[in-house]
Amino acid sequence: MASPEKDTPSEPWKVRLVGTGTADERVLCGVAFSTSISLDQADGLLSFYGASPELLQFKGPKAWYTDEPLSLSHFRTGLARTLLLSLDQSEWLHHTNINPFYRVPSPTHGGELTITRPATRSTKAVAVVTNFGGRAWWLFKGPRLRNRFILHPDVDLYGDPKGWSRFRRWPWSKAGVPANYKGPTDCQLWEDSQVAFLSGYKVAICLENTVDQPNYFTEKFVNAVRAGCIPVFYAHPTIRSSMLQGARWIDPADYGFDCQRTINTALAADSQAFQEANDAWLQTAKVADTHRDKVWERIADIMRLKLETQLPAKKLIPVRQ
């Protein structure tokens, strides 16, 4: 019996890709994204990560995707502020979008969710942080909370030596690395080597860069549980009630944000109980949906819908299934 026919576009929609800082191209869900497509040849426009003035120039289907929190300097430029005021809901693919359909998450991993379980671990806590929050970090709630924990003497701190050499605990302090700073790791956030490094410790301080932004969730927690660490993580209510359902962690909010009580509790906890719960959580669909490729597929689906509804239909040809 002949297979049913289905109309599909004779060629993919062409979407100009900007904001990445590097040449890139991919075809997903009938949409071709490429940095080499010119604006006058494009059916649509996607600014990926960085703000682009082309978002103001282009009048067709367009969107800006970025996974950074709104508190970042990323959004303090005149261009970014103008875009935040001018783009509509369907053009703002961000975790803060009030419309869940256009709320695209941050990717948390790019390969398989492998886990690492070494024979022995340090009984201390570890933190891997490259950016301490800038020279005025103490003015911002997120960096202020995170730095209190990662600078605790019971925590081995690792990160970029150049960045940490500029650290000042207070405006009047002399710049220099903190007392608990141990050096760089030579690992990348998206590599299994980062997970392997964390696995040498029982506890991982994996606080986000911001604490008051809804639906913000990155690779930090995922890396910690893949490493088998007990995560010290402050969960925004929107994350606690959705993304982290089924996971286990030590939340500073449960201990009055007291560093010593929180860290002591984590160090005294049963690692196996946390690992069993978190290993099962890693296999859930909600974690799978934060794979880098899944995030791109979500963006492509949104762009395809915008193209199909805002532009005249492309010529269709029947394709047998």
135-172 pLDDT tens trace: 889 888 999 999 999 999 999 999 999 999 999 988 88
User: How far, CA to CA in Å, does 125 sit from each of 148, 160, 189?
Assistant: 14, 18, 18
Please report, for the chain, the start and end positions of each structural domain, with discontinuous segments joined by +: 5-106+291-320, 122-288
pTM value is: 0.91
Planar angle of CA 292, 116, 121, nearest 5 degrees:
135
Q: How far apart are CA 290 and CA 88, in angstroms?
A: 24
Does residue 287 surpass a pLDDT of 50?
yes
pLDDT at 189: 73
Tokens of 36: 């080499």
Class at the top of the CATH hierarchy for domain 122-288 = alpha beta
Does residue 262 surpass a pLDDT of 50?
yes
Answer whether 260's CB lies under 8 Å from 252's CB.
no
Backbone angles phi, psi at 47, to 5 degrees: -95, 115
Residue 199: name the closest of 279, 122, 276 by CA: 122
pLDDT digits (tens, 9 = 90+) for 35-93: 999 999 999 999 999 999 999 999 999 999 999 999 888 898 999 999 999 999 999 99
